[in-house]
Amino acid sequence: MTDSIDVSSLENYIYFIKDLDTSPNKSFTEEELSKLWNLDPYRTKTMIRKLRKAGFIRRTRSGRYKITFAGLILVHIYKRAKKEQRPSSR
């Protein structure tokens, strides 16, 4: 098992954490993430585990989950790249 992340899984992770970017100071429970991502609880726990391993979210002392600073930066870069990639309507 390697520690490197390929581009497709990175895009998949960013897809899930971009919804957490709305308020960086907000933390989420597993149930809230399940509703936000429209996943069943088992798949939500699996995705949380993968995102924590990749370093995109962290668990607070109260058991809630927050986006990390690294995750926040990647989401902003991803959104800026997507915005610049769109063709201009002139």
> Could you read off the pLDDT of 31-68 as tens digits, one per residue?
999 999 999 999 999 999 999 999 999 999 999 999 99
Prediction pTM value: 0.80
Q: Domain boundaries in the chain?
A: 7-85
Looking at CATH, the fold of the domain delimited by 7-85 is given as Arc Repressor Mutant, subunit A (1.10.10)
Reference 33, options 43, 23, 25; nearest CA is 43
Amino acid identity of residue 26, one-letter, is: K
Query: Coil, strand, or helix at residue 80?
Result: helix
Query: Coil, strand, or helix at residue 65?
Result: strand
